């Protein structure tokens, strides 16, 4: 199958800065693809290269099998939802959404109808005559989404679109975006530095660092089998264990990751001391000192929680220890 987006050894350098450095990438049609990484790792530049707002310094980009080089943004069948939404403050909601169709020369009746349909899609019918300033942050986000969808793009690029929303709204929008993507079958490419967001929404995740992709895989792969220490650290919640401690614990002298939920309290395990306990609702998170290092342990709700200062024994299955490369 022809990929929706293909990068072959794509670089974008700004003087000495290697914003994107020899990236190979294939995004399948209809896929929800997340680009995850810390600030400055090159995600947004990759998105802008797909959109056509940036040109590669080197390498080759294809969109649905067509060479993207020399094709201007408005002819790429790709639309972007920007982090700040970039709505026109002086236009009402319908005119904001219909703007792209107006530029394409579509007559007013037809474009208004299409805009109203797009507003229904993002659950914002009846808001057409308001100005952006009369909307909440979440509603503005939906208008920005409708404005991109009205053009029926084959690829929708989303640059941290939920960054400005509060946690509850963000979680709601995550679910809505996912079901919208499923219903429309459009390829979504989503940029975020929030690992929870990437893991919960994407079919596949690319983890970026220093202008390159360090690991690519399903959310389960990335979470369970981080390839490098950087990925394990960045994707979060896992315990990253240094080689020296691994040897003390009877393992190989290599960097390893061990998920907090894979550790159990058990009579014949390794001795550790409870330093802190945090009640999280569905689970309790323990911070323990084990041979001078700090590990996290997650206990499911209903399990007995030892008191701070208590000595416990920790046990895990050797198969739950995942060895990694040290390279960042």
Question: How are strands ordered across the β-sheet holding 293-300?
Answer: 293-300, 283-290, 264-279, 311-315
Q: Which of 41, 80, 174, 238 binds ligand ATP (CB under 6 A)?
A: 41
* List 43, 76, 229, 322, residue binding ligand ATP (CB under 6 A): 43
3-state secondary structure of 187: strand
Contacting ligand ATP (CB under 6 A), which of 2, 9, 17, 179?
Answer: 17
d(CA 130, CA 135): 7
Q: Which of 7, 23, 25, 44 binds ligand ATP (CB under 6 A)?
A: 44
Site for ligand ATP in 80-119 (CB under 6 A): none
Least CB distance to ligand ATP at residue 168 (A): 23
Question: Least Å distance between CB 128 and ligand ATP?
Answer: 32
Any contact of residue 141 with ligand ATP (CB under 6 A)?
no
Token pair, residue 135, equals 């909307």
Q: Which of 3, 29, 30, 40 binds ligand ATP (CB under 6 A)?
A: 40
Q: By CB under 6 A, what part of segment 156-195 binds ligand ATP?
A: 193
For residue 212, state whether it binds ligand ATP (rule: CB under 6 A): no
Q: Please identify which residue in 11, 45, 112, 239 interacts with ligand ATP, judged by CB under 6 A.
A: 45
Give the 3-state secondary structure of residue 97.
helix
303-310 long-range contacts, Cβ below 8 Å, gap at least 24? 303/265, 305/277, 306/265, 306/274, 306/277, 307/274, 307/277, 308/274, 308/275, 308/276, 308/277, 309/273, 309/274, 310/273, 310/274
Binding flag, residue 301, ligand ATP (CB under 6 A): no
Residues binding ligand ATP: what is the number (CB under 6 A)?
Answer: 12
CA 14 to chain centre: 25
Distance CA 199, CA 229 (A): 18
Strand duo 155-159 + 187-192: pairing: parallel
Residues forming the site for ligand ATP (CB under 6 A):
14, 17, 19, 37, 39-45, 193
């Amino acid at each position: 199958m022809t990929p929706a987006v293909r990068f072959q050894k794509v670089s974008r350098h700004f003087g000495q800065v290697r914003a994107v450095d020899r990236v190979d990438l294939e995004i399948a049609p209809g896929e929800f693809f997340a680009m995850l990484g810390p600030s400055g790792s090159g995600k947004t530049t990759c998105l802008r290269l797909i959109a056509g707002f940036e040109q590669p310094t080197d390498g080759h980009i294809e969109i649905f099998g067509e060479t993207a080089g020399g094709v201007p943004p408005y002819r790429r069948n790709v639309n972007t939802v920007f982090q700040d939404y970039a709505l026109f403050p002086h236009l009402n909601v319908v005119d904001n959404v219909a703007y792209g169709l107006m530029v394409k020369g579509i007559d007013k009746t037809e474009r208004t109808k299409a805009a109203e349909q797009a507003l229904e899609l993002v659950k914002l019918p009846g808001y057409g005559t308001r100005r952006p300033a009369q909307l909440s942050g979440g509603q503005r986000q939906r208008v920005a989404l409708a404005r991109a969808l009205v053009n029926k793009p084959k690829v929708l690029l989303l640059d941290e679109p939920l960054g400005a929303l509060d946690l509850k709204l963000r979680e709601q929008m995550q679910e809505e975006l996912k079901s919208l993507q499923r219903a429309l079958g459009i390829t979504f490419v989503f940029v975020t530095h929030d690992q929870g967001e990437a893991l919960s929404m994407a079919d596949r995740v690319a983890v970026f660092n220093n202008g390159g992709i360090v690991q690519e895989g399903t959310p389960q792969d990335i979470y369970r089998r981080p390839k490098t220490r950087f990925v394990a650290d960045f994707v979060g919640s896992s315990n990253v264990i240094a080689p020296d401690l691994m040897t003390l614990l009877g393992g190989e002298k290599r960097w390893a990751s061990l998920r907090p939920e894979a550790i159990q309290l058990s009579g014949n395990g390794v001795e550790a001391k409870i330093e802190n306990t945090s009640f999280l609702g569905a689970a309790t998170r323990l911070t323990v000192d084990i041979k001078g290092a700090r590990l996290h342990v997650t206990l499911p709700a209903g399990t007995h929680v030892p008191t701070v200062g208590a000595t416990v024994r920790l046990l895990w299955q050797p198969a739950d220890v995942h060895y990694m490369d040290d390279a960042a």
